[in-house]
Amino acid sequence: MAPFGVYVHIPICARRCDYCAFATWTDRGALMPDYAAACRAEIERAGLAPASSVFFGGGTPSLLPARLLTGILDAVDRAPGAEVTVECNPENVTIDLLAAYRAAGVNRVSFGVQSLAPHVLKGLGRTHDPAAVDRAVAAARTVGMERVNLDLIYGGAGERDEDWEATVRGALALGPTHISAYALTIEPGTPLAADESRHPDDDVQADRYLVADALLAEAGLVNYEISNWARPGDECRHNLLYWRQGDYRGIGCAAHSHEDGRRWWNVRTPERYIAAVASGSSSVAASETLTPEQRVTEGWRLSLRTSDGAPAEAFGPSDFALLGERGLVVRCDDRVVLTATGRLLANQVAMYLRDVSPEGGDDDLHAHVEQIVVPALG
């Protein structure tokens, strides 16, 4: 049976981080019982295939009362051994909350750590302190949650070389099975975008990435996608579903879905989502369908981000030679894989992928395929 994923969007936060542009709100907590009921109804009406992975993202899913989150999970038909992940903020995790998750079938948690330097956390608009991370991971271990991801962000204001190295080493000391490390990005309309003094430097971020890659590799965590490292066998299956063009269903407001080259997404606000489900009408806001040629080129782009690489046929011989001379790619049997330096320039490397559209030529891939919309998961 082909892998199939379910993504559930929980759109509430206690406070919006200064860099966040996701569909989340800090004043919608009272809607959550109705929202959870709408999610369950959407799942039940959809008649979904058994899920090989379920991912609760947000927002801050750990702010949702455990009974509401586990009630949504109970509505999902799951394949034997399904991976079930919940994103959590360290400051609102308790042993009782995680025990309820574990009893309901959650077997993986992802903590939004971002940094272990207090001044960097403050500059990102985060509300937890490093001690909260220790407590959260300890709570996960107490309830028997063996698979733990820690999300990190590099490039925050005031972050020094020693701060980033200490964050990576401190995260590793907690014994996670998976670490995600993302470059801080500037999203329009955010407080971070409005404050140029806090904007990251590209060269500094490149150095931070290479430091993380070296430290994580030394600790036995393998890079399997540009921003994700895991112990062998502990890769996030839900992540891999996206990179391999698998099918998945997004549940909740603003959630994205994919099936056989068709993508669609739900209305953005929780109020509109609840109303649509309650009335029995569609919650879909819009959709797009890729041509077979677009699916091929998108598949190449996605696989290039992973340790599997893209098929050698995706590059013309002269382009592969040029990229190889610049130290950006290597040939591994019949695949072309990004080097560590190549991962820093993945979007630029992807521009050299061949065009397989009927109109043809070796034109830039970007002329035919839009940027891929994939949730940032850990």
| Domain match, 84 and 228 both | yes
Domains: count for the chain: 2
- Taking the model in full, what pTM does it have? 0.94
Considering the domain boundaries, does residue 101 fall inside one? yes
| Domain match, 100 and 225 both | yes
| Domain match, 129 and 217 both | yes
What single-letter DSSP state applies at residue 269? Answer: S
Cβ atoms of 112 and 92 closer than 8 Å: no
Cβ atoms of 238 and 5 closer than 8 Å: yes
Considering the domain boundaries, does residue 86 fall inside one? yes
Considering the domain boundaries, does residue 163 fall inside one? yes
| Domain match, 47 and 180 both | yes
CATH code where residue 303 lies: 1.10.10
What single-letter DSSP state applies at residue 198? Answer: G
| Domain match, 172 and 310 both | no
Residue identified by tokens 């610049």 is 326
What angle (nearest 5°) sits at the alpha carbon of residue 369, between those of residues 365 and 372? 115
User: How many CA atoms lie less than 13 Å away from 274 in the CB half-sphere?
Assistant: 14
Question: Residues 157-188: pLDDT tens digits?
Answer: 999 999 999 999 999 999 999 999 999 999 99
| Domain match, 237 and 296 both | no
- The H or E element containing residue 54 is strand 51-58
CATH code where residue 157 lies: 3.20.20.70
Alpha-helical (H) ranges within 195-316 are 202-218, 237-243, 270-279, 292-304
Considering the domain boundaries, does residue 342 fall inside one? yes
| Domain match, 191 and 336 both | no
Considering the domain boundaries, does residue 269 fall inside one? no
Task: Write down the pLDDT at residue 1.
Answer: 83
Question: Residues 226-281: pLDDT tens digits?
Answer: 999 999 999 999 999 999 999 999 999 999 999 999 999 999 999 999 999 999 99
Token code pair at residue 113: 């750590």
Closest-CA residue to 32 (of 73, 55, 61, 7): 61
Domain that holds residue 343: 292-367
Q: How far is CA 257 from CA 8, 131, 174, 296, in A?
A: 11, 37, 34, 18
| Domain match, 210 and 340 both | no
| Domain match, 318 and 215 both | no
Domain end position, chosen among 222, 242, 262: 242
Question: Residues 302-318: pLDDT tens digits?
Answer: 999 999 999 999 999 99
CB atoms within 10 A of CB 134: 15
User: How many CA atoms lie less than 13 Å away from 325 in the CB half-sphere?
Assistant: 6
Local confidence band at 357 (pLDDT 50, 70, 90 cut-offs): confident
Considering the domain boundaries, does residue 184 fall inside one? yes
